[in-house]
Structure 1
Amino acid sequence: MYKRLLILVVSSLLLGCASQPAAPLRVGSAPLRDTNREQAVLDLLTADFAIQRGAYAEAAAKYTAVAELTGDVGLARRAIQAALYGQDVPAAIAAAGVWQRLRPDSTDAAQLLVAFELQNGNIEAARAHLRALLALDAFGSRQDYLNLVRLLNQNVPPQTLFGVLDGVLELRPTDADALYVYTLSALELEDLERAQRSSERLLRLQEDGAEAVLLRAQVLHQSDQWQAAAARLSQFLARHPRHVRGHLALARALLDGKEYAAALAAFEQVLRIEPANADARLAAALLAGQLGDRRVAREQLLKLAADGQRTDQAHFYLGKLAEDAGDTRQAIDWYAKVGGGEHRLDALLRRAELLAASGHLDAAVDLLAQAHQDEGERLRLLLARSDLLLQGGRAAQAERLINEALVEQPDNLELLFARSMVLDKLNRPADMERDLKRILELDPDNTNALNAWGYTLADRGERLDEAHRLIQRALDQSPDNPYILDSLGWVLYRKGDLTAAERYLRQALSLLPDAEVYAHLVQVLHALGRTDEARDVLAEALARTPHDARLRHVRDTLGMHDGQNK
């Protein structure tokens, strides 16, 4: 691991490549006698052949010797790379030392020596090289510090890295760039205590500096102090009202605090300053939609699409808005415009589901079957087709589709589970159990299989103790899963433990206000003799989904018709 990482990081500092033929021999300031020149040429040839044989230690030693003899820095760099391939840190130190002697003003050589000495455990030597590095006038830009951190971060533990950075701050206590990079490093390594201290120091140096304020706000934000971050940014923006990055940072902090209206206002301020800011416009649209202002959300998305920015995302969310408003035809049209990007597959699936719900099941299934499919999408689209067929009352056709896929992947857990759900619809419990048992043979803790098997037994009123054990095993794997909590409530109802059944069903309902959970809770409350309460829960459920068949069945079975729900 060391060799791979170090070579990747150091390669940007090395202009030579040990695997290439040697460059023409260059002579340093002192002329070489013929015998020395002949020896140098011989050593170079030996080094090149050693590289080809994988004898990296021999190659590094030869390149280093010729570099020192000829004053050729390129050969010193080549020696370092050969040493790294051979995982020989002392040899790399020797070659970097030659490089530094030849070019005392080289920041690259000094940085490598700091890293190599630390890697080799030579702390004092590393400190000496660090002091030499910081004494160079050419070293001191923010990019220089970032390069040093990148070099060290891959090869020494965080505490050692911060030891170096602490040394930098000791020698350059008022260097704003050093403090900035120190804070960034602390954030990246999640050392928030260090980030707090260094960002405070930076802010004292640059009290009204935009980068110091933004970095301090980022530290506060990552430290779960979003209110303090927002307050700091608001103070800054009062003095710099057109600072876009400041408004964006404020919006992110407010989002973290779930202050959605205030976050929307921050994004809208960005758009007043930069109307073409696509990220801010998309965020504003989504927030407006979340706050229930569909008109504003739609206007923002239409502008985004018209500007030719984020068009696929704009079309996808326009589709969702239309779908939420009950305009199925328009939703399908918008989803059809999503040609690529992260939402392409979701848009395709939504189109198919809406087509099927509109009575065009064959068109929906054909849409998914004929869609362009990446390798990773093939299974998901097949399962979606199967689900459409199942929901459309064509369980036998769904089974055939899955069976064809299982020929190629007989132990695919998702296919086996999908077929088990189809077999349940076909009222073939023995075949369903066969598939679920196979899943559990392959994956004994598969929560979907455990829950489905347990729930099916409970729903049939069969082997209730076994059903209870299966569902409990599933819940142990996923304790906050509302579907499993619903299953546990249902099996407890079947076993007659109504009080516990109510508790678990209410917990499931708080996580998932689903019609089936409502239906189960109504039946439990009715069985407990709390008829009025059961009627109220049913009315709440029917207000959400007035045409749900399960709720209507419970209402009819329990005789709970009233003026509202008839």
Structure 2
Amino acid sequence: MSQTQGLKRNRTQAATRATRALIGLALAALLPAGAWAQNQKNAALPPAAPASVPTIALEPGPVVDNSYLDGPLLYQLLLAEFALRENQPGDAIELMLEAARRNKDDALYRRALQIAAEAGAGDKALSITRSWRQTMPRSTEALRIEIQLLIQLDRVPDTAEPLKQLLSMSTPAERSALISSLPRAQQRARDKAGATEQFRQILLPYMEAPDTGVAARVALGRMRLNQGQPVFALDMAEQAQALDPKSLQPVLLAPDVMHAATDGPPARASVAAPASSGTAPSTELIAKAEVIVKRYLAQPDAEPVVRQAYASVLATQQRLTDAAEQLRLALKDKPRQAQMWLALGEIDLELHDPVTADTDLRRALTLVTEQMAEDAAARRALAAAAAASGADTTASDHDDTPDAPAPGADPASGNPVRLAHVQLLLARAAEQRHDDAAAARWLAEVDAKDADLQVVSLRASLLARQGKLAEALKLIRAADASTPAEQRYKLLTEVQLLLDEKKLGEAREVLGKATAEMPDDVDLVYQEAMVDERLNRLDDMERLLRRILTLQPDNSQALNALGYSLADRNLRLDEALAMVRQAHELSPADPFIVDSLGWVEYRMGHFDAAATLLAQAYSSRKDTEIAAHLGEALWADGRHDEAARVLRDAHRLDSGNEVLKQTMTRLKVAP
């Protein structure tokens, strides 16, 4: 294969990362906040807030019981409220607390706590809960609030006694919910290892109880995962699923284990484990965690939320074909999820299937516009009701107050789907179909206030395709960019416009100036290296990639690019193989790295092994250039018919790909 093929392939891999991040965001938004971490609906401890401003979850209840509201008590309560009005919260708390003690009334303790919370008096609030417990020792509400306050004040070790008592006093359902909320408390603690060990000791008896065994194992596994111990977390998930195959808890822990194994290096079984315990390869972790998910999904009544979580981690691993399959299965059960249709459309675009993308994105568009109409009707009804009661009626259909529904909010997921984002993706689908007029029409639909850098970038791309490169560059250079991320996006858009028009020298000049100012920005250095490769400045490319590896020795993309480049030029193949293998250990599920591994095997003459690896990569990611590599390996292995079929199938999806066309011409395979 020519060096040009290598350049294009590395460029494809580099360009993928930005889209990968966008798809990851879209897929992450599919789930309610913390859906993988735990079921927030049943959480027993509210999320922690800053210690300086206690946030106390109080059970609803009457302020006082009129049956004992005598004259002295009424007078004392009035004094407390008057002290509060006079900005004397300390006096108000003491008066309310004295009344609560004397009358043994939950509602008065709640009011005292509310005053303390509003005054930012965390320690005082803690003393109120302890007085409450002393006066009313069977109050589970007092225990819950004391534990919550101790967590907010970063005094997790002090939660041991009240937590044990609350667990013993709770019903089985409440106990499981409380146990499931402990990982949030552990994340709040400065000493996470100490908090984990404390909670482990408390949970030991509950791991053996039939009604809490699953919750206890999953909670402990999640806490260990928070400490970077995915092997232990996986073990807990496996044990929990064995106890209850229908439980969601271990199944929602498994994707987080897959994420940890995908994003990080091979993890030790335990931070404190002896050296003899060894490491667990990331590929093995991912495979075992995936078994947990697949086992659950084989059940006919599997919850769609699991498919959503699974799809998200598959997308993170660049297994986009598999991710799309899971989303389509989930949408059979929940077809009115705009966010899922949006994520599916983004995956379609990344897979270069603009026709399917257009269909899926139009489904998202329909749901978003319907939701926007419902939101507007609801606001009009509220305004009419307010007008009838004489209240302020200044709100409009375009209410931008924090309480107003987000335009296009997806009620099923609680996440907003922006109309402008759907329109932008529809424009991209049109661009992929080479229908520039349709792309321009979709961009014209985007409201001016929503025309962000992505919209400007696509408009510039359309101008460049019309031969108006100077106008396109002027447009992107004039775009507002207030943050470093936006400035980088502008820069890379300019570079891409130049590369698309084969202005390699100008693109290299732009990147060179940027990296001179930001020499440690590995993303920019990587892009510069890829342009050097296209310019056949291979020594410069290698120097830049090695600079990245000096800054980030575990940068799998740089390891992969350098190893692949060496192999593609038939240079230092043993070194190339070592680099790509290291990249594969760091990112075992990345199909582009698996592709590189297969290509090194091809260059070494191991055609059967190469074809196996390349087929694995292509099954995860229907990328045209991976298909070209697979066709080469199959052809070299003597499987000409199979090679021709792979190449023709890829040509039907992406007939304009130069790498594929060169491969088919060289092998004399007709389209």
- C-alpha separation between the residues in 2 aligned to 1:473 and 1:341? 46
Contact 2:564 2:596 in 1 (8 A): yes
State the 1:303 CA deviation: 4.0
Larger Rg: 1
Q: Say if 1:281 and 1:358 are closer, same or farther in 2 by CA, change over 3 A.
A: same
Q: Say if 1:482 and 1:356 are closer, same or farther in 2 by CA, change over 3 A.
A: farther
TM-score (normalizing by structure 2): 0.52
Aligned to 2:535: 426
- C-alpha separation between the residues in 1 aligned to 2:602 and 2:623? 18
- Pick the aligned partner of 2:425 from 299, 313, 320: 320
Contact 1:458 1:491 in 2 (8 A): yes
Q: Say if 1:350 and 1:97 are closer, same or farther in 2 by CA, change over 3 A.
A: same
In structure 2, give the amino acid aligned to 1:372: D
Aligned to 1:550: 659
- C-alpha separation between the residues in 1 aligned to 2:129 and 2:249? 32
Aligned to 1:493: 602
Q: Give per-residue Cα distances to partners, 1:15-72, cap 9 Å, x unaligned.
A: xxxxxxxxxxxxxxxxxxxxxxxxxxxxxxxxxxxxxxxxxxxxxxxxxxxxxxxxx9
In structure 2, give the amino acid aligned to 1:314: L
- Secondary structure at the aligned position of 1:9 is classed as coil
Aligned to 1:519: 628
Q: Tell me if 1:310 matches 2:408.
A: yes
Identical amino acids, percent of aligned pairs: 30
Q: Give per-residue Cα distances to partners, 1:80-121, cap 9 Å, x unaligned.
A: xxxxxxxxxxxxxxxx99998799765267999xx989999x
Aligned to 2:181: 188
Contact 1:417 1:436 in 2 (8 A): yes
1:101-116 → structure 2 map (5 Å cutoff): 107=109
Q: Tell me if 1:150 matches 2:143.
A: no
Aligned to 1:399: 508
1:192-341 → structure 2 map (5 Å cutoff): 221-222=248-249, 224=251, 252=305, 258=326, 260=328, 263=331, 268=336, 292=359, 296-304=363-371, 309-310=407-408, 313-324=418-429, 326=433, 327-335=435-443, 338=446
In structure 1, give the amino acid aligned to 2:507: A
- Pick the aligned partner of 1:130 from 133, 153, 173: 133
State the 1:135 CA deviation: 6.9
Contact 2:144 2:166 in 1 (8 A): no
In structure 2, give the amino acid aligned to 1:162: L
- C-alpha separation between the residues in 1 aligned to 2:422 and 2:97? 60
Aligned to 1:31: none
- C-alpha separation between the residues in 1 aligned to 2:340 and 2:600? 44
Q: Say if 1:261 and 1:12 are closer, same or farther in 2 by CA, change over 3 A.
A: closer
- C-alpha separation between the residues in 1 aligned to 2:371 and 2:305? 20
Bigger drift between 292-301 and 485-494 goes to 292-301
Contact 2:566 2:573 in 1 (8 A): yes
- C-alpha separation between the residues in 2 aligned to 1:521 and 1:402? 33
Contact 2:150 2:156 in 1 (8 A): yes
Aligned to 2:480: 372
Bigger drift between 476-485 and 159-168 goes to 159-168
Q: Give per-residue Cα distances to partners, 1:192-231, cap 9 Å, x unaligned.
A: 9899959xxxxxxxxxxxxxxxxxxxx9644549889997
Q: List alignment gaps of at least 5 residues for structure 1.
A: 14-71, 79-95, 174-178, 199-218, 233-249, 269-279
Aligned to 1:166: 167
Q: Say if 1:110 and 1:224 are closer, same or farther in 2 by CA, change over 3 A.
A: same
- C-alpha separation between the residues in 2 aligned to 1:186 and 1:316? 39
Q: Say if 1:331 and 1:185 are closer, same or farther in 2 by CA, change over 3 A.
A: farther
Number of aligned positions between the proteins: 421
State the 1:283 CA deviation: 5.8
- Secondary structure at the aligned position of 1:411 is classed as coil
- Secondary structure at the aligned position of 2:495 is classed as helix
State the 1:469 CA deviation: 2.1
State the 1:518 CA deviation: 0.9
RMSD: 5.0
Q: Tell me if 1:465 matches 2:468.
A: no
State the 1:145 CA deviation: 7.7
Contact 2:511 2:524 in 1 (8 A): yes
Contact 1:118 1:156 in 2 (8 A): no
State the 1:383 CA deviation: 2.0
Q: Say if 1:287 and 1:304 are closer, same or farther in 2 by CA, change over 3 A.
A: farther
Contact 2:97 2:109 in 1 (8 A): no
- Pick the aligned partner of 1:412 from 521, 525, 528: 521
TM-score (normalizing by structure 1): 0.60
Higher relative contact order (CA 8 A, sep 6+): 2
Contact 1:220 1:229 in 2 (8 A): no
- Pick the aligned partner of 1:9 from 54, 62, 68: 54
In structure 2, give the amino acid aligned to 1:107: Y
Q: Say if 1:110 and 1:386 are closer, same or farther in 2 by CA, change over 3 A.
A: closer
State the 1:368 CA deviation: 2.6
Contact 1:255 1:263 in 2 (8 A): no
Q: List alignment gaps of at least 5 residues for structure 2.
A: 1-48, 59-87, 117-121, 185-202, 213-245, 253-295, 311-325, 346-355, 377-397, 399-406, 410-416
In structure 2, give the amino acid aligned to 1:475: H
In structure 1, give the amino acid aligned to 2:90: G
Aligned to 2:235: none
- C-alpha separation between the residues in 2 aligned to 1:388 and 1:458? 29
- Secondary structure at the aligned position of 2:553 is classed as coil
State the 1:519 CA deviation: 0.9
Q: Say if 1:149 and 1:467 are closer, same or farther in 2 by CA, change over 3 A.
A: same
State the 1:335 CA deviation: 4.1
Contact 1:264 1:287 in 2 (8 A): no
State the 1:506 CA deviation: 1.1
State the 1:509 CA deviation: 0.9
Q: Say if 1:529 and 1:135 are closer, same or farther in 2 by CA, change over 3 A.
A: closer
Q: Say if 1:305 and 1:372 are closer, same or farther in 2 by CA, change over 3 A.
A: farther
Contact 2:426 2:442 in 1 (8 A): no
- Secondary structure at the aligned position of 1:479 is classed as coil
State the 1:6 CA deviation: 4.8
Q: Tell me if 1:482 matches 2:591.
A: yes
Q: Say if 1:318 and 1:221 are closer, same or farther in 2 by CA, change over 3 A.
A: farther
Q: Say if 1:333 and 1:473 are closer, same or farther in 2 by CA, change over 3 A.
A: same
Aligned to 2:273: none
In structure 1, give the amino acid aligned to 2:477: A
Aligned to 1:444: 553
- Secondary structure at the aligned position of 2:564 is classed as helix
In structure 2, give the amino acid aligned to 1:373: A
In structure 1, give the amino acid aligned to 2:164: G
Q: Say if 1:414 and 1:135 are closer, same or farther in 2 by CA, change over 3 A.
A: closer
In structure 2, give the amino acid aligned to 1:432: M
State the 1:540 CA deviation: 1.0
Contact 1:251 1:262 in 2 (8 A): yes
Contact 2:408 2:418 in 1 (8 A): yes
